[in-house]
Amino acid sequence: MNKIINISILLSLILFTGCLKRPIKNKRVNYRVQTIPSNNMIIKEAYKHLGSPYRYGATGPNSFDCSGFVYAVHRNLGIKIPRTSRDQSEIRGRKLSKNELRAGDLLFFDTAHRGHVNHVGIYLGNGKFIHASSGKAHSVTISDINAWYKDKFRWGKHVYDAIPSRF
């Protein structure tokens, strides 16, 4: 009987602590990340938020989740896109492979391998992208598309087929 009670208590603690949220820190993370020089306005806007903390459901200006980051970057430039990564992945246009990507394109991932998009970022070029990560960085960071994300990448999308010259 004691064994059952101890197991019940242990399971309850595991379940309870798993539901706790990380404390929200509204401080930028200061670490060195190599940026890629660009004249692309989407990338310039995205770089302004590098190091901002990750927070689920946030759309800025001080913290972001992945789709909230992409949404805010475009909103700040007067470009209307959907709010969630799944809806963003359904923006009109052809799905792009890695070798078709251009700086400023949206990248979509299935990080849980569940058959649907659950993460989004902005392509910088040279195999790098900027995104709000809920992982180790827990902030807006730059990652390599060919590292941890390699088998999770699903497709990219051009926000516009004919990108205006200011982009």
**Which DSSP string corresponds to 32-68?**
---------HHHHHHHTTTTPBB-TT-BSSS-B-HHH
Q: What is the pLDDT of residues 16-74, one digit of tens each?
A: 433 333 444 445 555 455 667 778 999 999 999 999 999 999 999 999 999 999 999 99
pLDDT of residue 159: 84
Domains in the chain: boundaries = 24-157
Q: What is the pLDDT of residues 71-101, one digit of tens each?
A: 999 999 999 999 999 999 999 989 999 999 9
Q: How do 106-109 and 128-132 pair as beta strands?
A: unpaired
pLDDT of residue 70: 98
Cis peptide bond N-terminal to 164, omega within 30: no
pLDDT of residue 14: 44
**Superfamily of segment(s) 24-157:** endopeptidase domain like (from Nostoc punctiforme) (3.90.1720.10)
CA distance 140 to 77: 18
**Phi/psi at 86 (nearest 5 deg)?**
-65, -45
pLDDT band at residue 110 under the 50/70/90 scheme: very high
pTM of the model: 0.78
CA distance 121 to 104: 9
Q: How is 106-147 classified by DSSP, letter by letter?
A: EEEE-TT-SSS--EEEEEEETTEEEEE-SSTT-BEEEEETTT
Active-site residues, by number, are 66, 119, 131
CA distance 77 to 150: 29
pLDDT at 144 over 90: yes
